[in-house]
Amino acid sequence: MPTTSPNVLNGKPLPFGACFLGNGVNFSLFARNAKAVSLLLFEAAADARPFYTVELDSRKNRSGDIWHCFIQGLEPGVCYLYKVDGPYVPEKGLRFNKHKLLLDPYARAIANMENWAPELSLGYEIDDTSADLSFSYKDADPARHPKAVVASDDFDWQGDIPLNYPLRFSVLYETHVRGFTANGNSGVAHPGTYLGLIEKIPYLKELGITSLELLPIHDFYEDENDRTDPQTGHRLKNYWGYSTVAFFAPKASYSWAWTANRNPNGAVNEFKTMVRELHKAGIEVILDIVFNHTAEGNERGLTYGFRGLDNSVYYMLDENQRYYKNYSGCGNTVNCNHPITRSFIIDCLHYWVVEMHVDGFRFDLAAILGRDQHGNLMENPPVLERIAEDPILANTKIIAEAWDAGGAYQVGHFPGGRWAEWNDRYRDGVRKFWRGDKGELRDFATRLAGSSDLYLRDGRKPFHSINFITSHDGFTLADLVSYNGKHNENNGENNRDGNNNNYSYNYGVEGDTERSPIRQLRLRQMKNFAATLMLSLGTPMMLGGDEIGRTQNGNNNAYCQDNEISWYNWDFLSDDDIKAAEKKELFRFIKEMIAFRKRHPGFMRPEFYTGVGGYYDATPDISWFAADGGAVDWDKTELCLAFRLDGSKADIKADRDDCDFYIMMNASSTAVSFSVCNAPEGKEWVLVADTGLPAPNDILPPPDWKTLFFPNVYYLKEKSLVILASKTVPKGRLSI
């Protein structure tokens, strides 16, 4: 502990947060309605007492609504908290409490989260609703409270910059940092961490994805869930992390340096290392970010930061401002379009792009960012427009989950210009078709063709549709073909949680089975889903683990399961039984489908299909066929569909001609003979993939594409998909 008092100067109001300037640290905090602010400094994260407290002078240490100071000689690694005093008038939205320990909203690192006693952070409302309860409160215990850390910016990026692949060339892979390697069979030296993910880069490279979309890594409190698993008795967790405590801080418990030796700056450096090494491997990093609510909850929730700094600025409040509007379903809603909060959001995005080198963001419940302070949806929301037009974010991916828990659904209508969207209509349309639902043909074709009904009218492109079959929220791919209903009993909510409309099917047995015909049909369906995703116009996103048949045992809402239900099972790498063989077969198929998509610009065209030929080519860019080779009657309840794609470079907006393709899909429960149109002159159809064939003939790399002996007819098994490509007939041989 320092033996002398530090030298405290007035400091500067900007930038916000705690910034090390070489000879000391500048602290800056927004607190408009505060009457007094104290800065508490700690040597270590678990310290019970500060080694120094700075009482900020409202004349010297305040500029407008910003409180600030500069402390000479202070080094990175020092921990700090604030106490802020002011009026407690909840019916006017003011909830100051001088006894609460508060985190800096701009804190770049958080330590001691694992020792948090949240009951010490509860607001007044938990005990009473009277206007003044300050007499009944003692100071909270700093030893049992998370602390902000003065982070160091010193890091060797080795020349790294964000990759920023164009969306149309991207293949997204959604995963969880901890769950990816937490299992004891993951084979990594640093399981469940940023470093563990680095160790799995060769696996990701082999799979061929371009972009990792990570579930929230902004620090959150894992132990906020107070329920237990009724089947095991184990305490449930906040596993997914959609309850942010600190928006600028990478999660400390995902850091090996913090877990092993309590290095408070470890998470920052290890996150940067992960990004740098992924970029070296050609893999982008996209962060799932949760600006719609915070972990402080409703009026009976926590006071650890925003509520104690300026509650009426950061949150949407009800008409009786004691209460919170709740469009997030989590107790509070961030007031995203207030100018102060809007600046906070932009500052946060800038930090992750400029300082942490990330390539993009997926915005959870993004419709909330389009609401005004009263909760009304705005025509031109300032924060969404600012994000879309921001010069620093110009090449950054911005992806919206275009709905919220308050009833807003904006898929295809999300404001702000260049936003991409998670397209749940694609998910549902593809699931229904392959399940065999009647009357879905028109919608299925629309989803395959890029969802022009959603994105064409406002000038967006096919790649603005983020196509997905599965995501973290819902069934895994293996469970989609193994369960008729959700099985969330382990979540402790009597199976009431999670989506009831999954459009899934178990093919005769609920859950796992040893019956080979059912297993083979399920495997074929997983291949059909994966192939459809890679053949569709738009940006494909796959759920991590689907490529190896990861199951959650029918749990379609595993947000609280930090255990084998959610973790990847890597046993298939060493096992040699039939289930491991199926996982390896599925992995190979999906790997080859990703490679197939990336090789062929025809599936990554930047414009929607027109259905007609251009002046340079009389062949339509896309043509649809019924199984008999005739025109499709879109009003019939057919379960078979074929389409032909023209691969000329003018059509696909590429620098070279691609193959033409003829693709056939049979979602029925019986085998069907398809008529195949003639290949282009001088070319013949060759077989690329047939999910109805056993491996390795289910998908063939280019040298092994097979010539068809009966080129104008093809027999598709039930529930199967076939890809044909055009290939120039070798000299000296006539087309068959």
Q: Which residues are catalytic?
A: 364, 401
Place of tokens 């039984």: 577
Q: Report the residue count for the chain.
A: 736
> What is the token pair recorded at 273?
């290392």
How crowded is residue 166: how many other Cβ atoms within 10 Å of its Cβ? 12
Residue 377 DSSP symbol: B
Name the nearest CA neighbour of 540 among 274, 208, 240, 290: 208
Q: Which residues pair with 189 in a beta bridge?
A: none
Q: Are 539 and 172 in contact (CB under 8 A)?
A: yes
**Amino acid occupying residue 729:** V
Give me the half-sphere count of Cα atoms (radius 13 Å) on the Cβ side of residue 487. Answer: 17
Name the nearest CA neighbour of 330 among 384, 381, 368, 287: 368
Distance of CA 270 to the CA centre of its chain: 20
Give me the half-sphere count of Cα atoms (radius 13 Å) on the Cβ side of residue 478. Answer: 22
Q: How far apart are alpha carbons 129 and 124 in whole angstroms?
A: 7
Q: How far apart are alpha carbons 586 and 6 in whole angstroms?
A: 62
Name the nearest CA neighbour of 41 among 49, 50, 33: 50
Q: Are 537 and 462 in contact (CB under 8 A)?
A: yes
The CA distances from residue 400 to 352, 411, 422, 424, 478, in Å, are 17, 9, 6, 11, 26
Q: Are 79 and 42 in contact (CB under 8 A)?
A: yes
Q: How far apart are alpha carbons 325 and 99 in whole angstroms?
A: 26
**Amino acid occupying residue 207:** L
Name the nearest CA neighbour of 521 among 533, 509, 532, 531: 509
Nearby residues of 352 by Cβ (< 8 Å), 6 or more positions away:
248, 287, 358, 361
> What is the token pair recorded at 634?
């879109």
Q: How far apart are alpha carbons 265 and 152 in whole angstroms?
A: 7
At residue 542, φ and ψ (nearest 5 deg) are -115, 150
- What are the respective helix, strand and coil percentages of the chain, to the nearest 5? 25, 20, 55
Q: Which segments of 137-200 does DSSP mark as H helices, in order?
A: 177-181, 194-199
Strand-pair category, 52-55 with 62-63: unpaired
